[in-house]
Structure 1
Amino acid sequence: MALRRFSLMCTNRSHLAIQRQHWRPISTVEVGTAYESLVVSTFNHLGAQLQRVGGASDNGIDFSGSWKLPDHKRFYIVGQCKHYERKKIGPSIIREWEGVMSRQEVDTLGLVAATSGFTASGIQAALSSKYPVALVTLANTEENSRLPGKYNSIRGFVWNMAAEPFIGRLMVAKRHFDIHKVDLDDPAEFSIQLFWDGKPLPADSSASQDPVPGP
Structure 2
Amino acid sequence: MRHLRPQNGLATSSPWSKTTRITTRTFCNSLPKHDFSPFTRRLYKLPTAPTPTTQHNSLPTFLTYASRTALPQTSTVYVGTHYEYTVLNALRRYALSLHRIGGRDDAGIDLLGTWHLPTRERERAVRVLVQCKALKTKLGPNLVRELEGALRQAPVGWRTGETAGVLVSPREATKGVRDTLARSSYPLFWLLVERDGVLKQALWNSRAEVLYGAQLDGSVTSQVALTWDGCDVPNLEEVEAGLARGEREWVRSWGLELSEIGEDELLDVVEGIFPNGWPEVGADGMVAEEHRARVVRALQKH
TM-score, normalised to structure 2, is 0.49
Q: How far, CA to CA, are the matches of 2:71 and 2:114 in structure 1?
A: 37
Q: How far, CA to CA, are the matches of 1:76 and 1:24 in structure 2?
A: 33
- Please say if 1:173 is aligned against 2:219: yes
Measured against aligned partners, the alpha-carbon deviations of 1:138-158 in whole angstroms (never above 9, x if no partner) come to 0112xx4xxxxxxxx111111
Contact kept, 8 Å, 1:44 with 1:207, in 2: the verdict is: no
Q: How far, CA to CA, are the matches of 1:24 and 1:109 in structure 2?
A: 33
Structure 1 runs of 4+ with >4 Å offset: none
Q: Which moved more, 1:119-128 or 1:159-168?
A: 159-168
Q: Which residue of 2 aligns with 1:200?
A: 232
Q: How far, CA to CA, are the matches of 1:50 and 1:75 in structure 2?
A: 12
Q: Which residue of 1 aligns with 2:267?
A: none
Residue 48 of structure 1: CA displacement?
2.0
Q: Which residue of 1 aligns with 2:171?
A: 116
Identity %: 30
> Which residues of structure 1 form unaligned runs of 5+?
1-22, 145-152, 178-190, 210-215
> Which residues of structure 2 form unaligned runs of 5+?
1-69, 242-302
Q: How far, CA to CA, are the matches of 1:97 and 1:123 in structure 2?
A: 13
Contact kept, 8 Å, 1:64 with 1:78, in 2: the verdict is: yes
Contact kept, 8 Å, 2:185 with 2:207, in 1: the verdict is: yes
Q: How far, CA to CA, are the matches of 2:185 and 2:201 in structure 1?
A: 21
Q: How far, CA to CA, are the matches of 1:57 and 1:24 in structure 2?
A: 22
Residue 49 of structure 1: CA displacement?
1.5
Q: Which residue of 2 aligns with 1:20?
A: none
Q: How far, CA to CA, are the matches of 2:131 and 2:71 in structure 1?
A: 27
Residue 75 of structure 1: CA displacement?
1.7
Q: Quick one: which amino acid aligns to residue 94 of structure 1?
A: V
Measured against aligned partners, the alpha-carbon deviations of 1:1-56 in whole angstroms (never above 9, x if no partner) come to xxxxxxxxxxxxxxxxxxxxxx9740221221111112111222222211111111
Q: How far, CA to CA, are the matches of 2:206 and 2:113 in structure 1?
A: 21
Q: How far, CA to CA, are the matches of 1:108 and 1:63 in structure 2?
A: 13
What is the SS of the residue equivalent to 1:83?
Answer: coil
Q: How far, CA to CA, are the matches of 1:91 and 1:24 in structure 2?
A: 31
The 3 A distance-change label for structure 1 pair 138 and 111 is same
- Please say if 1:103 is aligned against 2:153: yes
What is the SS of the residue equivalent to 1:60?
Answer: coil
TM-score, normalised to structure 1, is 0.68
- Please say if 1:92 is aligned against 2:147: no
Residue 208 of structure 1: CA displacement?
7.4
Size of the aligned set, in residue pairs, is 162
The 3 A distance-change label for structure 1 pair 126 and 161 is same
Q: Which residue of 1 aligns with 2:130?
A: 79
Q: Quick one: which amino acid aligns to residue 60 of structure 1?
A: G
Contact kept, 8 Å, 2:119 with 2:229, in 1: the verdict is: no
Q: Which residue of 2 aligns with 1:58?
A: 106
Relative to its length, the structure with more strand (as a share) is 1
Q: CA RMSD in A?
A: 2.3
